[in-house]
Amino acid sequence: MSKFDDLSRSFTPFEPSNTLIAAVEMGLSSWIVGAILPGVTRHPLKKLDANPESLLKTLHRWRNEAISAGREVTRIVLAFEAGRDGFWLARWLRGRGVEAYVIHAASVAVSCEHRRAKTDRIDVELLKRAFLGWLRGESDHCSMAAIPTLAEEDAKRPHRERQNLVSERTRIVNRMKACLVRLGVRGFNPALRKAEERLETLRTPEGEVIPPNTLAEMRHDIARLRFVMGQIREIEAARLQRLEQAPDRGPHAMVLLLAKVMGVGIETADMLVHEILSRNLRDRRAFARYGGLTGSPDESGKRRREKGVARSGNPRVRRSMIQLAWRFLVFQKDSPLAQGIGASPRTGAARHARR
């Protein structure tokens, strides 16, 4: 295998005469699995319950069928699209002798017809075709996702939960402000400690108090807001405690090192370490592709147009890298790179002067 996480093609020699190839279209209550068996002309396709034991039993039955046809099956490979089920099935199958891979759904080419037929059985055939090309080592058939361990997946949960809670906090605050603006009340900050007490003193432009049902709704929203803000503080305190208990541990040491950079806080450093820096990417271009920061040119004939960043990668990494770029211009404005960006006709003051 390649030294780096280059999963655009397989680097393992492919022997179709002794390899059982399978693809699974996973649903909530049922799975459809299709396979290519060495020495067997038919391509079996079977619908199963969403049960890994049934899937493994089916793969072993097909392996015995290929052995009965006079072929020695030394390798079973299986692939499915990344989605709601995550990576648990791949880890489970790998622990039982099956090479399991997870395909990036966006990397599988589909027909551009206006009303193309789409069924689970057709999707299985598309996955098999793309997976077969990947196994042969051909590029641009599909890309695989790196399968994390259970501990690596669990390490991402705190900063992702915090991000969801921050979004929830913003929704509650915006909803309360919109409700009060409907009555003509402005300038109220629900995040203040004495916000609930101040509700009693609010008056509409007509001099009326806040109606009772609206006031009860505001109190309920403030209670939710206090609860969400308490959970955010709890997550942040637990993270600081983990860093203090094991500062020399691999990811923790990297987080503390990044946090020393001016403009980078603990939250940003923790997210970058667990989302991307812990991956063994090949180079900075692979880093940019993973974050969706590569260009998206639109060229045809004499037309030359750049549509901006591709935005096809990890949105958390992309947002943080864009924020870091702005922080770099703010906190390190005397650096040659920042001065060069400011002098550029595309990004600097000259561009804004033309507007």
Running DSSP on this structure, what letter comes out for residue 13? P
pLDDT of residue 353: 47
69-81 pLDDT, tens digit per residue, is 999 999 999 999 9
* Cα 62 from chain centroid (whole Å): 34
Burial of 118 (0-12, 13-18, 19+ CB in 10 A): exposed
- Asked if 140 and 175 sit in the same domain, the reply is no
Closest C-alpha among 270, 310, 268, 266 to residue 290: 310
> Which amino acid type is present at position 55?
L
Strands 19-26 and 75-81: parallel
> Final residue of a domain: which of 198, 224, 245?
245
174-226 pLDDT, tens digit per residue, is 999 999 999 999 989 999 989 999 998 999 999 999 999 999 999 999 999 99
Distance (Å, rounded) from C-alpha 37 to C-alpha 66? 6
> Final residue of a domain: which of 88, 119, 147?
147
pTM beyond 0.85, yes or no: no
Q: Is residue 294 part of a domain?
A: yes
Average the pLDDT over 7-18 and give the result: 87
> Final residue of a domain: which of 114, 147, 180?
147
Domains in the chain: how many in total? Answer: 3
Closest C-alpha among 111, 54, 101, 109 to residue 81: 101
Distance (Å, rounded) from C-alpha 35 to C-alpha 132? 11
- Asked if 123 and 177 sit in the same domain, the reply is no
Running DSSP on this structure, what letter comes out for residue 211? P
Distance (Å, rounded) from C-alpha 77 to C-alpha 92? 13
Residue % of the chain over a pLDDT of 70: 95
- Asked if 111 and 77 sit in the same domain, the reply is yes
- Asked if 123 and 164 sit in the same domain, the reply is no
- Asked if 280 and 226 sit in the same domain, the reply is no
What CATH code is carried by the domain that includes residue 77?
3.30.420
233-247 pLDDT, tens digit per residue, is 999 999 999 999 988
- Asked if 48 and 127 sit in the same domain, the reply is yes
pLDDT of residue 174: 95
pLDDT for residue 12 is more than 60: yes
Domain range enclosing 210: 154-245
> Which amino acid type is present at position 219?
R
pLDDT of residue 340: 81
Q: Is residue 4 part of a domain?
A: no
- Asked if 253 and 277 sit in the same domain, the reply is yes
255-310 pLDDT, tens digit per residue, is 999 988 877 889 999 999 999 888 888 788 888 888 888 888 888 888 888 888 88
Q: Is residue 100 part of a domain?
A: yes
**Rounded to the nearest 5°, which phi and psi values hold at 263?**
95, -5
- Asked if 284 and 219 sit in the same domain, the reply is no
Q: For Cα atoms 49, 51, 54, give the angle at the middle one, nearest 5 degrees.
A: 85
- Asked if 137 and 29 sit in the same domain, the reply is yes
Q: Which residue has the tokens 């929704």?
A: 171
93-142 pLDDT, tens digit per residue, is 999 999 999 999 888 888 888 788 888 899 999 999 999 999 998 887 88
Helix extents (H) in 85-149: 88-94, 120-135
- Asked if 27 and 142 sit in the same domain, the reply is yes
pLDDT for residue 143 is more than 90: no
Q: Is residue 5 part of a domain?
A: no
pLDDT of residue 2: 47
> Which amino acid type is present at position 88?
W
Per-residue pLDDT band at 354 (split at 50, 70, 90): very low
